[in-house]
Amino acid sequence: MSSYRPYQEIVRRKSRRVYVGKVPVGDGAPITVQTMTNTLTHDVAATVAQIKRAEAAGVDIVRVSCPDQESAFALKDIVRQVDVPIVADIHFHYKRALEAAESGAACLRINPGNIGSDERVKEVIKAARDHGCSMRIGVNAGSLEKHLLEKYGEPNPEALVESALYHANILQQHDFHDFKISVKASDVFLAVAAYQQLAEVCDHPLHIGITEAGGRRMGTVKSSVGLGSLLWAGIGDTMRVSLSDEPEEEVRVGWDILKTLGIRHRGVKVISCPSCARQGYNVIETVRTLEDRLGHIETPLTLSIIGCVVNGPGEALMTDIGVTGGGNGRHMVYSAGKQDHTIDGAAMVDHIVELVEKKAAELKAAASEKLAAE
């Protein structure tokens, strides 16, 4: 009997738990997917609309930049209109952190060593405690402290880790421990090495990401390689895919990474062939259309879209619903791995959408019944 398992069991690194609003991070909690808005934060309507699109894509946590007082105060209106916790992105000016905490931010992204005197650090920590905020220490290879660049000569894993532990120590000296850490770089090897080293020397939750990864294609590739390597090694408690694209696209890619590794599941997982001259229908266009029309489904299920009978029946055995291209413009539809009926090519896409929506509703109802019984 084969010992093969569909997904290798991933042993998560042990870390302490913090909360971003009501969302747990670390200590075995589900790995959360994050993104960041790119609207002007003080444009409340535009920022809320962008967050809502990210929510529809499955985001768990959203970061919002607070470069000025108007933006920090705008958080109060933003937080009231969205369902996910908001992280306020703060750089240098400690008063923005105070204002953001008062405005309802669930977490402050701030490096305490960059905001000035010890008194200012105490004020920020007090504001975080008073308003139930956690923090994220965000170290970036592109903005390392001058003394570390002089010490190491260039950004390297040791410099990133030293910077992170320096900022962490400031918070710990003030008995504040509700924080997570990131050590990001645009270079995949540098980022992965830094996270590996940091994971060995502390138990703080880690926010992982490959920063400034690029556009949709290249950024997705770099993030998948870097984040996939870390997650497979059990490193990472929350994550962001950084793309020069819309925030909801970052969320989709983040979920695809988690689904590929079998860590979390959401929505329809499409298994499709690259297509060739044997295809019985236009596979590429069909997949593109189905991914768009099925994007609203949250219930995890699998769908195989294969152009011909070479691999189609085999792939259909392992998916909830499957389609294999056939002759004469009619194609075989599979349900739970078994041949079920044929469908005319002209009606196929609408028919598959209907089948998937029906199957998703059935699975959702079954899950609800099971939960109620427990």
- Residue 289's Cβ-count burial label (10 Å; 0-12, 13-18, 19+) is middle
Q: 279-283 contacts: CB < 8 A, separation 24 or more?
A: 279/307, 279/308, 279/325, 280/307, 280/308, 280/324, 280/325, 280/326, 280/327, 280/329, 280/331, 280/345, 281/307, 281/325, 281/331, 281/345, 281/348, 283/307, 283/325
pLDDT at 339 over 70: yes
Question: What's the chain's Rg over C-alpha atoms?
Answer: 23
> What is the model's pLDDT at position 114?
85
> What is the model's pLDDT at position 6?
59
* 189 and 292 fall within a common domain: no
Distance CA 15, CA 293 (A): 39
* 255 and 330 fall within a common domain: no
* 122 and 47 fall within a common domain: yes
Residue 352's domain spans which residues? Answer: 268-373
Question: Would you mind telling me the total number of residues written for the chain in this entry?
Answer: 374
Distance CA 373, CA 354 (A): 29
pTM score, two decimals?
Answer: 0.93
pLDDT at 1 over 70: no
Q: Is residue 9 part of a domain?
A: no
Q: What is the pLDDT confidence band of residue 5, given thresholds at 50, 70 and 90?
A: low
> What is the model's pLDDT at position 112?
87
**pLDDT, tens digit (0-9, with 9 covering 90-100), for 281-324:** 999 999 999 999 999 999 999 999 999 999 989 999 999 999 99
Instruction: Give strand pairing partners of 136.
Output: 109, 180
Among residues 217, 239, 260, the one where a domain terminates is 260
- Tell how far CA 289 is from the center of its chain: 23
Among residues 216, 244, 260, the one where a domain terminates is 260
* 119 and 79 fall within a common domain: yes
Average pLDDT over every residue of 26-49: 98
* 132 and 97 fall within a common domain: yes
**pLDDT, tens digit (0-9, with 9 covering 90-100), for 190-214:** 999 999 999 999 999 999 999 999 9
Average pLDDT over every residue of 208-234: 97
> What is the model's pLDDT at position 9?
78
> What is the model's pLDDT at position 328?
84
> What is the model's pLDDT at position 7?
60
Residue 100 sits in a domain of what CATH number? Answer: 3.20.20.20
* 244 and 360 fall within a common domain: no
> What is the model's pLDDT at position 91?
86
What ranges in the chain are assigned the alpha helix state H? 44-57, 69-81, 94-102, 118-131, 146-152, 157-173, 188-201, 216-232, 247-260, 283-293, 312-316, 348-373
Cβ of 279: how many Cβ atoms within 10 Å?
A: 16
